[in-house]
A and B are shown apart, each in its own frame.
Chain A
Amino acid sequence: MATRGSSSAIGDPLVISERETRDAPPHRIGLWHVGVVVSTHTETPTGRSIVLDVPGWGGNLAGQHADVRLTASDGYQAVRSYSIASAGDSDRVELAVDRFPTGEVSPYLVDDLLPGDELELRGPLGGWFVWKPTQTESVQLIGGGSGIVPLVAMIRSHTDSASTAPFRLLYSVRTSDDAFFRSELERPTPHLDVTWLYTRRVPHGWPRPAARISLADLAASAFASSLSPAVFVCGPTGFVETVATDLVALGHDPQRVKTERFGGA
């Protein structure tokens, strides 16, 4: 790799500039960084966001994730993947984590981690479930629970880049208390339309009864397949599979639908 790059640099500067400007997302080989927790914020009864300074991180695209590694005093290690809520060139990284009661990593991140603590991170990871500010087509985001995290990164990247690409978000949560980044998502944002779906309890006077997301919700509130939007779906496995099936039934090209399912770890 290095040989190819340096020989091109001598022989043909145009080739090098083409390679440098290609659309490859940041990707750092197997490197673990040590981040320091700057702040934490309670988002829901079971989840919180964590801001870290990670020297050498070098920024990430919207939608990428990080692996977090915990090491016990006996040397046992556990690694889990978490979506990144932030995007951009900075070494400051925001994660948002929901607690799985039986998990090995998330209870520590949600209940115990304090500002000043160190945390090992690997990344940024994944060049597939990403949105880039150079994309101009309509974008449909569909999130369930903490599946909102990579979608929030895309919304932030959209805002930060003053993109005029039309964005729509469908966000399904149990109750209004269970929404991550609620105040940020309720703030009016240019070129972004947000639809809230409640599955257990609705706010007073809410027109739609509490119910899981359905094909009717997608037909009513999501961009039509005729617009060929880029679609990003993130949430629990069952949520993602239901939504992906319904999207295809509504005529969306499966190749335009990208999913990120999280299991129960």
Chain B
Amino acid sequence: MPEPVDGNSLAGPFSELFSADLTTATARCLGCGDVSELARATVYPDPTGYVVRCGRCDDVLMVIIEEPDSIRLELRGMSWLKVPR
């Protein structure tokens, strides 16, 4: 398994989807309640996309799956996402 990197490395993939810089958005972890910038999350890249885990409790916050014609976002582990504008 590749070594994890920080959430700020997701700025490029996010830039295909959102006009705001999502790495500076804060998310609340459904598992432990931690509120942090996505830039602080732990990201595990794999050949199909990225698994994004809470920097505090390591629960899965979101999964990004890159397919040839689409990008699937599974926002399974966060109760909210606050995006600066």
Contacts and interface: CB of A to CB of B under 8 A. Distances in A.
A190 B33 CA distance: 44
Contacts, number: 75
B12 A127 contact: no
Contacts of A65: 8-9, 11-12
A27 B23 CA distance: 11
Given A27-B15, A79-B12, A237 B5 contact: yes
**Residue from A24, A27, A126 with most neighbouring chain B CB atoms (10 Å):** A126
A122 interface: yes
Interface residues of B, number: 22
A261 B6 contact: yes
Interface string A1-16: 1000000000000000
Q: Which secondary structure dominates where chain B touches chain A?
A: mixed
A27 B20 contact: yes
A126 B22 CA distance: 9
B29 interface: no
Nearest to A79: B12
Interface in B29-83: 37, 39, 45
Given A27-B19, A29-B16, A126-B9, 6 more contacts: A25-B21, A27-B21, A81-B9, A237-B4, A262-B9, A264-B2
